[in-house]
Amino acid sequence: MGTLLQQELSWLNFTIFSVWGIIMLLLVLGFVTYAIYFERKVIASMQMRVGPNRVGPMGLLQSVADVTKLLLKEDTIPAAAERDLFIMAPIITFVPSFVVLAVMPFTDKLYFADLNIGVLYYVALSGISTIGIVLGGWASNNKYALLGGMRSAAQMISYEVPLVISILGTVMMTESMNLRRIVALQDGGFWHWNFLPQIIGFVVFVIAAISELNRTPFDLPEAESELVAGYHVEYSGFRFAFFMLAEYVYVFAIATLTTVLFLGGWHPPFNFLEFIPGIIWFLLKFSFVVFFLFWLRATMPRLRIDQLMGLGWKVLLPLSLINIFVTVLYIKFFMG
């Protein structure tokens, strides 16, 4: 796939790109459908419940039934809503969540775009989704939705800062924003993976990423006990599904980015395991990160809004800045 990017654009290449894009979209939609199912199963198991078990064998078709229900539900738009913005908001939220996957390398040969500014590309586009969420809350003309949208803007902007700074340590060590190069420099066993020398940045990144996803314990923008579902309270049917789809696509993106930046990408933890295909190692690490997100949701209570903002500005931001100085010392004394 990557070699096609070096060729002159033609109708054949355009067709190949389009087919690969459609295949990727279908894979992501499949992931979203069954990530919801496995999240329910994981949480149910941890909380000593049964989980989905009625629709299909072992409940495997429960998510399919839920998606079908959402698509068939009536699409309602409040009479007092800003109609055009109300319609556009879910699209603005979803499209960046899918487009950021273009720079994600799954193996040394399986990727879409090999950009030298892959890290910057992800950060720039993922921030656009915040606009969609704020617009959805404001255009609904509902005070609960507006509060949810404002909370989301404050939260996502606040945690975007330490998240970006936490990645800078990895960029400084590898001297590159190219995601494929970052993975390539982690070859040689797990002791070469970035999460070890970048342990502070890794911890900050994971916490900030969970907040960026609006997932427990940072799910304040859609805290149903306070805001009646928050910014998407007035949405129904497929428009509501777009917001949910964007959330789970970002789970896919964050799990991929964590694997690439800190966990060695497609490289095995030990050199003698190199005979196993790289895509297997990538999927194992990716699955562990996704499971970790589900695990947190099953065990952690929701923070208050003041605790949420305090953690971002008073703890994570200073730690991410400290990580920059620690990285400079590490490069000077250990990398020469």
Residue 3 has a pLDDT of 47
What are the residue ranges in the chain where pLDDT is below 50?
Answer: 3-6
Among the listed residues 175, 208, 157, the one whose alpha carbon sits nearest the alpha carbon of residue 319: 208
Distance linking the first and last C-alpha atoms of the chain: 36
Residues 6+ apart with CB under 8 A from 115: 103, 121, 178, 179
Closest Cα to residue 262, out of 331, 206, 311, 326? 206
Give residue 225's pLDDT.
Answer: 61
| Residue 223: per-residue pLDDT | 63
The contacts of residue 250 (CB under 8 Å, 6+ apart) are 97, 126, 129, 212, 213
Res 213: pLDDT: 86
User: Residue 266: its pLDDT value, please?
Assistant: 94
In this predicted structure, what is the pLDDT of residue 1? 52
pLDDT for position 14? 78
Helices (H), the chain: 11-46, 62-72, 83-99, 118-126, 128-139, 143-174, 179-184, 199-212, 224-227, 237-262, 278-299, 305-310, 317-334
